[in-house]
Amino acid sequence: MRAALKRQNDPDLNRRSFLRASTIAAGGLLVSLYLDLPAFAREGTQAPPPKAYPPDAFVHIRPDGKILITVNRLEFGQGVQTSLPMIPADELDADWSQVVGELAPAADVYKDPLFGIQMVGGSGSIAHSFQQYRELGAKTRAMLIAAAADRWHVSPNQCRTENSVVFGPDGKSSRYSELADHAVRQPVPEKVSLKHASEFRLIGKKIRRLDSPAKCDGSQKFGLDLDLPGMKIAVVAHPTVFGGRVKSIDDKEARSLAGVKEVFEIPLVKGSGVAVVADKFWTAKQARDRLKIDWDLSGLELADSSQLWTRYKELARTPGNLAVTRGDDKSLDRIPAARRLTAEYEFPFLAHTPMEPLNATIRFEGNRAEAWVPSQFQTLDQMAIAEVLGLKPDQVTFHTEYAGGGFGRRAVIDSHVPREAAVIARRLRGTPVKLVWTREDDVRGGYYRPMHAHRVEIGIGADGMPAAWRHVVVGQSLVAGTPFAAMMIKNGVDQATVEGTSDTSYNIPNFHVSAHHPTVNVPVLWWRSVGHTHNAFVMETLVDELASRAKVDPIAYRRKLLKPDAKKLRAALDLMDHQSAGWRSHLPKGHAVGISCHEAFGTAVACAVDVSIENKRPKIHRVTVAADCGLAVNPLTIESQFQGGLGFGVTQLMAQGAITLKDGHVEQRNFDGYTPPYMIDAPVTVDVHIVPSTEAPTGCGEPPVPVISPAVVNALARLTGKRHRSLPLSAV
């Protein structure tokens, strides 16, 4: 999702940072690192006035020796509750066995240093906070050393640290917990020296996740598990067509169920719905099922997938708004027909379907509110709740709850789920209310990855390499009409729609990409790796087809086509080639290799798959993937991210992996109609290799997703001779 928020120029590297420290009644040292709002986030506005922050934002060295490090992100499976604490803990020389990670509430201090809002997205958690957290750890360490030196009347240069202990001359030593109260009175250093990579004790090592034990024994609580005294459960009946409004309600049968407390109409972001509040979830759901609602659908577009495809394909045959133009656009027309290739692609709407259903809990009383939300967009969700309740954001205490997956679904610009919960909490003032979206609510109620149509015309040179490339992408904009539009839409093109195509790493002369953004009555949202999901598929299957046509090895062809400065992608491709060479040369009969590579969110990924066909479906026996992601903070987490990302990417290939609409209604309901990958669909073996690097870390959560589906389809082409240009795959 980085394209949704990235700035067009380099980040403001001169932002002011400083530390605050204090003691608290419970004892110990609390340290916070604050960053001014980045310049790009203030575009068009004056710099905000200085704000007073709480002193206990990031590090708390407790009297018992525990070191609590606050994570400024949502943890929803990507491992930041471990990887982020590793960074300051290393610079701090902390005893890792005593480190505890804790998710931060919503607050200005926890805003992403580059994006300017508190969020998880764009694979930016480690990439954006790496320097921030390193400085935090180093400055805290310096304050502890200063405290020890002051106590012992020695120079700080005579002291060293190891495992949460400061050592001084003549055998002197003190644990961090013993120095905390004294350290807080030391001046905060403006500058500190950071460790050389050779000095890291944690960074770069395979560290087991801090949250694994609780998740394995079931003690970890997620947002859906929250249970407060007197809490009620709410569900909402949403319109059968997006934007529909309640015309009339017959709720007599619903109210007859014991435990039902309230049934009332509520406004939605678009249209209206009916909230049902009960003592228990099942009661609320059963009552909702008994509602008889007459919906007003007047004036609404009744989206229909078949009609949309006709419309999209017609648009794809016409030039759109230019995203990038390089060379002579007319050169394609001068290339003989025998050396031209035209390809049309179809990609359907896709749902996110995280395993933990969407939820939000809010208690509103007096002039304050408290919210518990597994949110990717804490800043926006806190603001939305405050707006609904007539409060200021700082009057809403916002707890970030652990989430069971998200894939972009919990990063919604309009904050529609927290808004619904706030409307209900406003009605039940003083009573905590948990709103639950069922699986059916989410599958049928949006928000989806947009459907896309692509049309590509390629002129092939005498050397078999692409000499001209004309590419039209058709799909809804993710940000039109939102605050992100001014930053993301350039020349009428939503950059998230064309990312991975307009900025390709391939050196193609006479290269032109344009886009159309039709308006459709279907809510859309970024889906893990956003535009790269469909653009990488188009680019990598076409490049593979060109390699086959030229009778050139697909890896060698890609090496030749890469731009000279595509160093990361070349390194990933070389490592993948080396690590997979053995099994690629000894494939069983009926198996074939598929290759793909792609760069997204600053990380380059190369992929090789071993595929056969079983029961008319692709069987993925092995995947070897290599990544250049800069410095690997926690290789174990990166390995898990890539294994999970590749599995998620297989979603695009599933036979029933499409959201379709008929007369404005979503035809799928649950996993019976919208089928995710099951164990039989997942790769049997996944080997993950990381290019050694000391460069700054880049993203790892989203980059593995785009490469798997084109690699599989490229293998299928070798097995069957057929090029698949429409997803999901039916029988092969």
pLDDT at 30: 52
How many CB atoms are closer than 10 A to CB 692? 10
In this structure, what token pair is assigned to residue 276?
A: 């049902």
Best CA proximity match to 345, nearest among 456, 507, 193:
456
User: How many CB atoms sit inside 10 A of residue 181's CB?
Assistant: 15
**204: left (phi > 0), else alpha (psi -120 to 50), else beta?**
left
Cα 605 from Cα 598, distance rounded (Å): 5
Question: Which H or E run includes 61?
Answer: strand 59-61
**Pairwise CA distance, residues 427 & 262, whole Å:** 9
Dump strand ranges (E) for 111-231.
160-162, 165-167, 173-175
How many C-beta atoms surround the C-beta of residue 442 within 10 A?
Answer: 20
Please give the Cα distance from 144 to 595 (Å, whole number). Answer: 52
Residue 263 has a CB neighbour count (10 Å cut-off) of 21
Q: pLDDT averaged over consecutive 10-residue blocks of the chain (732 residues)? A: 34 31 42 38 42 54 95 96 97 97 94 93 95 92 95 97 98 96 86 95 97 94 98 98 98 98 98 98 98 98 98 98 96 96 98 97 97 98 98 98 97 98 98 98 96 98 98 98 94 98 97 98 98 98 98 98 98 98 97 98 98 96 98 98 97 96 98 94 96 97 98 98 95 82
The single-letter DSSP state of residue 176 is: H
What stretches of 295-362 show up as alpha helix (H) in DSSP? 305-316
* Structural tokens at position 573: 């491709």
**Token pair 């200085």: residue:** 50
Q: Which two tokens stand for residue 365?
A: 């009383």
Instruction: Give yes or no for a contact between 109 and 17, defined as CB atoms under 8 angstroms apart.
Output: no
Say how far apart CA 635 and CA 631 lie, in whole Å.
9
C-beta of residue 243 within 8 angstroms of C-beta of residue 236: no
Buried b (16+ CB within 10 A) or exposed e, 322-357: bbbeeeebebbeebeeeeeeebebbbbbbbbbbebb
* Domains located in the chain, CATH noted: 2-217 (3.30.365.10), 223-297+358-436 (3.30.365.10), 317-349+448-720 (3.30.365.10)
Could you tell me the CA-to-CA distances from 59 to 203, 261, 566, 638 in Å, in that order?
18, 43, 39, 25
Residues 6+ apart with CB under 8 A from 713: 537, 541, 594, 653, 723, 724, 729
Neighbours of 655 (CB within 10 A): 14
Tokens coding 589: 């009969």
CA distance 730 to 720: 14
With both helix axes pointing from N to C terminus, report the angle between 532-549 and 705-720 in degrees, rounded to the nearest 10. Answer: 30
- Enumerate the β-bridge partners of residue 401: none
Q: Rounded CA gap, 224 and 350, in Å?
A: 24
For residue 28, give the nearest of 145, 184, 165, 164 by alpha carbon.
Answer: 184
DSSP string of 220-251? ---GGG---TT-EEEEEE--SSTT-EEEEEE-
Classify 609 as helix, strand or coil: strand
Cβ atoms within 10 Å of 230's Cβ, excluding its own? 9
Residue 29: predicted pLDDT = 54
CB atoms within 10 A of CB 219: 8
